[in-house]
Amino acid sequence: MSKVENLENIIERFGPHLHDAPDGGWQADRVIDKVVPTHCPYCGVQCGMNLLVEKGKLVGFEPRYDFPVNEGRLCPKGVTAYLQTHHPDRLTHPLIKRNGVFEKATWDEALDLVVLKFKELQAKYGKDTLGVYSGSSLTTEKTYLMGKFARAGLGTRYIDYNGRLCMVSAGAGNYKAFGVDRAANPWSDIPLAEVLIIAGANCAETFPVLNKYLWQQRDNGGVWIVIDPRETATARQGDLHLQLKPGTDVAVANGMLHVIVKENLIDEEFIKSRTNDWDQVKAGIEKYTPQVCSEISGVPAEKIVQGGLLYGRAKTGMIMHARGIEHHTNGVDNVLSYINIVLATGKIGSPGKGYGTITGQGNGQGGREMGQKADQLPGQRSINNPEDRKYISEVWDLPLEEMPEAGVSVVEMFGKMREKEIRGLISICNNVMVSLPDTNMVRETLEGLDFFVCIDFFMSESSRYADVVLPGSAWSEDEGVTASAEGRVVKINKANEPPGEAKVDWWIINEIAKRMGRGKYFPFNSPREIFDEMRAASKGGKADYYGITYEKIEKNNGIFWSCPTLDHPGTPRLFEEKFSLPDGKAKFHAIEYKGADEKPDEEFPMILTTGRVVYQYLSGNQTRRIGFLVQQCPEPYVEIHPETAQKMKINDGERVKVISRRGEGIFPALVVRTIRPDTIFIPYHWGEQLAANQLTNPALDPTSKIPEFKACAARIEKIHSRELPILGKGRKGASLSEVQRGK
């Protein structure tokens, strides 16, 4: 069946005005009756944009020049974001699976069934038999609500969120070294830095509009050191590219620090007055000579020396990193080894001196602040801390003894589902069949659940396995706040109502809690009421939002937390005077190189690494439906170096099989010199037989519990034409548009 929606259906659903409109429904002569300033739903840059509304329908966008981060700029995802709102694939009514087929249901039928099953499961197996899996593309109000829903609504300890697959290694490293989890600097500091180290971050594709600041830094005479196994669009613009083997960041960072120490480029005064534990690090990096690190990482020793000298000699500098160093079983070690360089050179806490992770999801920062993490309570409080538990119990008016203990990370939750310790799951804003490692194992786990509920606004590869699907809201259909990757809290505004019978997400959660008999804890009538309770819950915490109001955000184009009082201006730059650990000092950590969990061997001689492309967003459930984005990047591919391709007689464009210990997939070869000969790369935004995560390794970092998406052993095989897949076939269950059309 063609993936293209039948034109007659579209006209029937959206009216004849679309008949002669170009792709996406734009008409130049529209009479716009409302312009709604808001922010892009996708990445953590959170670009400002104006949404155009005609007769209650979102029909386009305009640049929003007043927002200082993007000043009107948008990337390909941003300019097409509005097209998802009235997309024909939107879920418009609750669905209940009966005899393996989804059928339309009323809200009462669907919610009553959810509550009946949840109560039955908890009566039989205990409160913790239910799991909650949430997301960081939700507004912060919703993430707060999800944390409260799990603990006070369902009474389960098992909640986690999809930031676990994203920036948790950075968060854990930040806690250990600085005592708080937030980028240290506003992006306006970037142009002030003489040298930037960009490690494992292809900003050009994954954070496109951030390049505004990077290019300004270049215009000011600045230098970039890019550390990446691929010569990405970002690396190509850099001055020095350290093209390391995936999983060897500790060696590269320790090697550069070794050079900095040997050349006496450390800031002794800063180390003495503002840090602890330098001596162990200094002693530990003695053996990490450039030659040793070169042998481990594959980066020429002279380039490691050049990197150390460039950064060490500069008066100002910033280090920024992303999933490339974080998605590892030693992700936290990788982060800490770069932080050691920052601290040793005293390059933090003043203009042009700083450090930060580049979070992928739109609310990747806010999503890890208000209690939807397995061990977290609102305000970046710890559920393991008796004082924090008591404070939040009081804010919620929940008896302290009812506050559950810490849960476990999402990959561990899936383990508990297989062991039947968790039998029911409610999931919102994620797509595990694309985004978790080892998707074959994920599929078996979902199929084995007693009861599975999904809240989403498009049917996804994962919600097909649900027993009940509840149609939620797209970003333009509700208000709330997000925190961008620089820690700026911005306001998302509502432009239109959800289509059909779809509801705003917070209403759905509230309603389930009420029907579970826990309505006392969920008295909310609006996102603003949730926000106000969240402010109180965050008060005095590390991520303190108490002094932030919707009005203050809009007046100031965002407020950086921490903002403890109503007259506080917010905190764009952290650590100017002290760090957030108890004695106010930052902490060095001596880090040893360990490498990836799975190393190449005879059977699997290549290193597979995965990542993203500019035209798709995370699990692709939103962007794989937008015509322009699909045209630009319709399917995944495997990047192979020409040397490898020549040895195996593989031609550019030829479909090849990629096999790991967990699965195999068939992908067209993209033969490029920009990848290391020992490494292959597949972008991960697709599902089923196109999923890169069929292959990846679910081994976890011991601290952050992030899976090792960025390095596993694999091999490539040539295939015979009879093995070629027929794309779009072989999915289990019907697509939603087929269900809606009664097919």
Q: 79 vs 650, which CB is nearer to ligand SF4?
A: 79
Closest to 247 (Cα-Cα) out of 287, 296, 301: 296
The 8 Å CB, 24+ separation contacts for 30-34 are 30/54, 30/59, 30/60, 32/59, 32/60, 34/495
Angle at 87 between CA 83 and CA 88, to 5 degrees: 160
Burial of 501 (0-12, 13-18, 19+ CB in 10 A): middle
Q: CB-wise, 46 or 137, nearer to ligand SF4?
A: 46
Q: Token digits for 580? A: 């957030």
Instruction: Pick the closer one to ligand SF4 by CB: 80 or 122.
Output: 80
Span interacting with ligand SF4, options 1-9, 73-81, 251-259, 590-598, rule CB under 6 A: 73-81
Q: From CA 71, how far away is CA 208, in angstroms rounded?
A: 13
- With respect to ligand SF4, which residue has the nearer C-beta, 61 or 224? 61
Per-residue tokens: 408: 């476990």
Query: Minimum distance from CB of 217 to ligand SF4 (Å)?
Result: 17
**204 HSE (CA, 13 A, CB side):** 12
Q: Two tokens at 237?
A: 């613009």
| Least separation in angstroms between CB 64 and ligand SF4 | 11
CB of 234 to ligand SF4, least distance (A): 14
Looking at residues 161 to 220 of the shown chain, list those that interact with ligand SF4 (rule: CB under 6 A). Answer: 207-209
Contact 636, 612 (CB under 8 A): no
Output the smallest distance, CB 80 to ligand SF4, in A: 10
Closer of 50 and 70 to ligand SF4 (Cβ): 70
**Residue 91: CB minimum distance to ligand SF4, A:** 23
Site residues for ligand SF4, window 239-268 (CB under 6 A)?
none
To ligand SF4, the closest distance from the beta carbon of 534 in angstroms equals 23
User: Following DSSP, what letter does each residue of 335-395 receive, concatenated?
Assistant: HHHHHHHHHHTT--SBTTEEEEE---BTTTTGGGTSS-STTEETTTEETT-HHHHHHHHHH
Which of the stretches 14-22, 72-80, 181-189, 723-731 binds ligand SF4 when contact is defined by CB under 6 A? Answer: 72-80
Burial 15-33 (b: 16+ CB within 10 A, else e): eeebeeeeebbeeeebeee
Of 158 and 207, the one with the shorter C-beta distance to ligand SF4 is: 207
Indicate which single residue of 57, 77, 117, 503 sits in contact with ligand SF4 (rule: CB under 6 A): 77
Q: For the chain, how big is the Rg over CA atoms in Å?
A: 25
Contact call for residue 633 and ligand SF4 (CB under 6 A): no
Q: List CB contacts of 281: < 8 A, sequence separation 6 or more.
A: 257, 340, 344, 588, 589, 590, 591
Between residues 208 and 366, which has the closer beta carbon with respect to ligand SF4? 208
Nearer to ligand SF4, 364 or 665 (CB): 364
Among residues 671, 685, 539, 709, the alpha carbon closest in space to that of 618 is found at 685
Q: Give SS3 for 619.
A: coil
Among 59, 74, 214, 314, binds ligand SF4 (CB under 6 A): 74
First vs last C-alpha separation in the chain: 12
Q: How many residues bind ligand SF4 (CB under 6 A)?
A: 14
Beta carbon of residue 206, minimum distance to ligand SF4 (angstroms, whole number): 8
Q: Which of 75, 318, 336, 348 binds ligand SF4 (CB under 6 A)?
A: 75
Q: Which of residues 467 and 478 has its CB atom nearest to ligand SF4 in the complex?
A: 478
Q: How far is the CB of 494 from ligand SF4 (least distance, A)?
A: 18
Nearer to ligand SF4, 72 or 415 (CB): 72
- Encoding tokens for residue 135? 């997301």
Contacts of 547 (CB under 8 A, 6+ apart): 559, 563, 564, 565, 566, 567, 568, 570
Q: Which is nearer to ligand SF4, 79 or 638 (CB)?
A: 79
Full 3-state SS string of 184-219? CCCHHHHHHCCEEEEECCCHHHHCHHHHHHHHHHHH
Contact pick of 25, 78, 354, 480 for ligand SF4 (by CB under 6 A)? 78
Strands 707-708 and 468-471: unpaired
The least CB distance from residue 211 to ligand SF4, in Å, is: 9
> Based on CB atoms, which residue is closest to ligand SF4, 69 or 530?
69
- Quick one: 78 or 317, whose CB is closer to ligand SF4? 78
User: How far from chain centre, in Å, is Cα 658?
Assistant: 25
In terms of Cβ atoms closer than 10 Å to its own Cβ (0-12, 13-18, 19+), residue 742 is: exposed
Angle between helices 410-418 and 439-448 (to 10 degrees): 50
Which region, judged by CB under 6 A, interacts with ligand SF4, from 21-29, 69-77, 430-438, 715-723? Answer: 69-77
Residues 351 and 563: their CA atoms lie apart, in Å, by 20
Whole-number minimum distance, CB 49 to ligand SF4, in Å? Answer: 7
Residue nearest to ligand SF4 (CB): 78
Sketch the per residue contact string, 32 through 51, with ligand SF4: x for CB under 6 A, - otherwise: --------x-xx-xxx----
Give per-residue burial for 436-464: e unless 16+ CB within 10 Å, then b: bbbbebbbebbeebbbbbbbbbbbbbbbb
Q: How far is the CB of 79 from ligand SF4 (least distance, A)?
A: 7
Interface ranges with ligand SF4 (CB under 6 A): 40, 42-43, 45-47, 70, 74-75, 77-78, 207-209
